[in-house]
């Protein structure tokens, strides 16, 4: 019988997939910091690097504690507008990854839908 999600031991060869997902989420998050409010592109500010590092740092934990990882990436996403960055789908890519991980690992569809809805509402409420 196959189990989805969960906190069991990870296969030995899965580390490269985790690294690839984390690196991709980091790149997307950093690319989100390149966009400016006046529709121009510029080098990402230091705040974009901080957001990308902090939100991607919790991605390896998403298999053992998916709800905690979702809460952490959502909290970082809520801090994006006060730091002067645009809240774009690229900026919250780590939150999307953890939302998917939680949806796969949740015991019921209602729990998954509730958690993802609350995370989405928190991100939407942070837009000024």
Q: Is the dihedral of CA 118, 115, 91, 96 positive or negative?
A: negative
Into how many domains does the chain fold? 1
CB 51 within 8 A of CB 79: yes
Q: Structural domain of residue 76, as residue ranges?
A: 14-125
Q: Kindly report the CA angle at 57 between 72 and 84, in degrees rounded to 5?
A: 65
Tens-digit pLDDT string for the chain (128 aa): 445 555 556 666 778 899 999 999 999 999 999 988 888 899 999 999 999 999 999 999 999 999 999 999 999 999 999 999 998 889 999 999 999 999 998 888 898 899 989 999 998 888 88
CB 65 within 8 A of CB 123: no
Residue 85, domain member (yes or no): yes
**Can you give the pTM of this predicted structure?**
0.83
Residue 106, domain member (yes or no): yes
């Amino acid at each position: 019988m196959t189990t989805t999600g969960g906190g069991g031991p990870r296969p030995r060869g899965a580390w490269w997939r985790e690294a690839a997902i984390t690196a991709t989420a980091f790149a997307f998050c950093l690319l989100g910091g390149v966009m400016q409010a006046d529709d121009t592109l510029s080098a990402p500010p230091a705040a974009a690097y901080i957001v990308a590092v902090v939100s991607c740092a919790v991605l390896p934990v998403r298999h053992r504690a998916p709800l905690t990882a979702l809460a952490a990436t959502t909290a970082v996403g809520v801090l994006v507008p006060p730091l002067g960055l645009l809240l774009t789908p690229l900026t919250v890519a780590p939150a999307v990854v953890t939302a998917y991980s939680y949806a796969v690992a949740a015991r019921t569809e209602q729990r998954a839908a509730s958690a993802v809805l609350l995370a989405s509402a928190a991100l939407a409420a942070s837009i000024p």
